[in-house]
Amino acid sequence: MSKIKVLDKHLQNLIAAGEVVDRPSSIVKELIENSIDAKAKHIIVKIKNGGLDEIVVSDNGEGMSKDDLALAFLAHSTSKITQAHDLNHLTSLGFRGEALAAIGAVSNCEIISSDSHGSYIITNKFGKISKIEAQSRNKGTTVSVKELFYQSPARLKFLKSVDYETALISDLIQKFALSNLDINFQYSSNDRVVFNSPGNNDLAELLFNIYGSNIYQRLRKLEISNYDFIIKGYISDSHYSRSNKTGINIFINNRLVAANSLIKAITTAYSDYLAKGKYPLVILKVETDPQLTDVNISPTKWQIRISKEKNLNDLLISGIKGVLKTQSEAQLISTINSLEVNEYPVTNIKKEEVKQEKVVYQQLQLNQTDIVGIEPSTLELKPEVIGQAFGKYIIASCLDELWLIDQHAAQERCNYEKFRQAMLKENPPVQIINLPPLEVSLSHIQRLKEINEKLAAINIQFEEYGVNKLLVRSIPLWISQIDVEAFLFDMLEYCCNSDKEIDITEIRKATLASLACHSSIKFNEILDINLQKALVNDLLKCENPYHCPHGRPTIVKLSDKQLAKEFERG
Ligand code: ADP
Ligand code: MG
């Protein structure tokens, strides 16, 4: 066996860099954390080409003295803790003293800092630290990072597209702005200002600014506490959902953390209100005694260990459920008040859904002729529709059978087949539709090129329209018969979730799933007898009328014989 050697400092820093600064966004994270720890109230972040060409973070914080600056690039040099005891009482974001050393090991990094007694510059080029020299600057610090990973080709290869890396940084900066309401963040990418937070302590204004008015309207305030934890923030109501968890933002003592158990608690609280695979938008700040948390469990400080975690989870679940319950009760009362009693005897329904879905259904019937592949056997059947039960099932009799038809599953099947036929047509007619611009997130705008490339497969194209908005330029004609907006949001999320190339079959599958969902009659929806008949009629024209696209049955049949047995008639 070869002899054990102690690795030289540069090699140690390179190894640390592998964990601490694995991509441009983690460098931005470390630099912003340093600025926040230096009590800056104004932080400017500039990136070029997703941070690969340049990252500059400037602040108006306390700055560093000449002596401190001389030590800043050395590993394990920190001003934030001095003894083991401090680790249990952390109030700063940094404490490991390894970020600047790691960044300097993998880039050409320069720091200019002034603590108002003097201002100096120091550089670290791939581990070679320069002498300190005088350089003028106002109080505060500027760190610039260039030639990132030039000497670590393996790391470069691991990075995704420039658009993807830019989107990660944009998302991160918005999250910092959400957790530091008193700081003005100014962020520009390729010399264009893309985000400027007000820094006026107004969370509501910032949420409006980041998410736009439509989503803002869907947010509800949550404030709840127990002996150990205070939770404050906003959560989306049951009318809003996303296809991934990136909208769940949790800050513990102002630190953005990836707390899987809390995310699980949040999804549990929403499970009665959102479909499976759908997630809310959540911005929650948890305050607790630092002694109850341990952030020193991963170099990137994303992970956190919380004592009394179950206690926190329970508080979170009951708080969220309480808000959602109040919202749905308020909605039910307004629905009941606005319904004419004789018209809708069953009141367990949502008014908006009834209105919207009926229109959709009527539109669908106009295109019945699109459905091909009709099975003569089911077409020959002429069931007699008797009525609807519980706002869920259509009851019909056919020859010697009684049918119970799941109205939601049935319509999903009809829509699925109709859309599939339309989608598979070559050169489907495309229309320029007149939808109002969609308010989207910054990452959607920044990944627009990639999104358009992916969605070209289904003839959908977007165009940038002002700040945080996208205009739909083209969409296949047949798609416009559904809740187009909800469908387009689904597709944007889908494209942004997959950074790899998606093949056309996958895009089509995702499209069909979203379309079938956004156009189907809901459970708990009253249908008049004509709509009931039309739905059964359409179902029987399907290629596979007996199962919904997810494989669940659409019709349960009870034969006369079975019924006779149940009634003990011999
Ligand atoms: P840590 O943040 O864990 O202490 P870093 O390597 O990120 O380690 O930074 C090393 C030290 O450099 C910090 O402890 C701090 O004293 C100083 N420093 C870094 N960035 C700034 C800044 N923007 N303003 C003032 N001081 C800074
Ligand atoms: Mg730091």
Distances (CA, A) of 30 to 10, 21, 98, 376: 19, 8, 10, 66
Say yes or no: 405 and 544 in one domain: yes
Q: What is residue 352's predicted lDDT score, i.e. its pLDDT?
A: 38
For ligand 1, atom 21, the nearest C-alpha belongs to: 34
The residue among 300, 333, 366 that closes a domain is 333
Say yes or no: 65 and 121 in one domain: yes
Of ligand 1's atoms, which has the minimum distance to the CA of residue 102?
A: 6
How far, in Å, from the CA of 33 to the mean position of ligand 2? 6
Residue 392 included in any domain: yes
Alpha helices in 367-502 (DSSP H): 376-380, 407-424, 442-446, 448-455, 484-497
Residue 278 included in any domain: yes
Instruction: Tell me the longest C-alpha to C-alpha distance in the chain.
Output: 104
How far, in Å, from the CA of 263 to the mean position of ligand 2? 26
Please give all residues whose beta carbon lies within 6 A of any atom in ligand 1, as ranges: 30, 34-35, 38, 59, 61-64, 68, 72, 77-80, 94-101, 141
B/e letters for 499-535, b = 16+ CB within 10 Å, e = fewer, are eeebeeeebbebbbbbbbbbbbbbebbbbeeebbbbb
Say yes or no: 13 and 121 in one domain: yes
Amino acid at 330: A
Q: What is residue 397's predicted lDDT score, i.e. its pLDDT?
A: 93
Q: Is the pLDDT of residue 362 over 90?
A: no
**Structural domain of residue 248, as residue ranges?**
205-333
The residue among 168, 199, 230 that closes a domain is 199
The residue among 145, 170, 199 that closes a domain is 199
Residue 570 included in any domain: no
Most confident of 286-295, 448-457, 462-471, 477-486: 448-457
Of ligand 1's atoms, which has the minimum distance to the CA of residue 95?
A: 3
Q: What is residue 90's predicted lDDT score, i.e. its pLDDT?
A: 65
26-73: pLDDT as tens digits: 999 999 999 999 999 999 999 999 999 999 999 999 999 999 999 899
Residue 340 included in any domain: no
Mean pLDDT along residues 438-465: 86
The pLDDT confidence band at residue 441, using thresholds 50, 70 and 90, is confident
Residue 345 included in any domain: no
Of ligand 1's atoms, which has the minimum distance to the CA of residue 62?
A: 25
Q: Is the pLDDT of residue 335 over 70?
A: no
Say yes or no: 170 and 54 in one domain: yes
Q: What is residue 217's predicted lDDT score, i.e. its pLDDT?
A: 84
CATH number at residue 279: 3.30.230.10
Say yes or no: 307 and 429 in one domain: no
How far, in Å, from the CA of 163 to the mean position of ligand 1? 29
480-508: pLDDT as tens digits: 667 778 888 888 888 887 656 667 777 78
* Average pLDDT taken over every residue of the chain: 80
Q: What is residue 520's predicted lDDT score, i.e. its pLDDT?
A: 64
Q: Is the pLDDT of residue 373 over 60?
A: no
Q: What is residue 356's predicted lDDT score, i.e. its pLDDT?
A: 33
For ligand 1, atom 8, the nearest C-alpha belongs to: 97
Say yes or no: 437 and 466 in one domain: yes
How far, in Å, from the CA of 216 to the mean position of ligand 1? 36
User: Which of 78, 80, 183 has most ligand 1 atoms within 8 Å of CB, for mutation?
Assistant: 78
Closest ligand to C-alpha of residue 35 is: 1
The pLDDT confidence band at residue 351, using thresholds 50, 70 and 90, is very low
The pLDDT confidence band at residue 300, using thresholds 50, 70 and 90, is low
**0.85 exceeded by the pTM?**
no
Residue 372 included in any domain: yes
Residue 346 included in any domain: no
How far, in Å, from the CA of 440 to the mean position of ligand 2? 32
Q: What is residue 1's predicted lDDT score, i.e. its pLDDT?
A: 61
Of ligand 1's atoms, which has the minimum distance to the CA of residue 101?
A: 6
CATH number at residue 154: 3.30.565.10
Q: What is the domain count for the chain?
A: 3
Say yes or no: 234 and 321 in one domain: yes
How far, in Å, from the CA of 119 to the mean position of ligand 1? 16
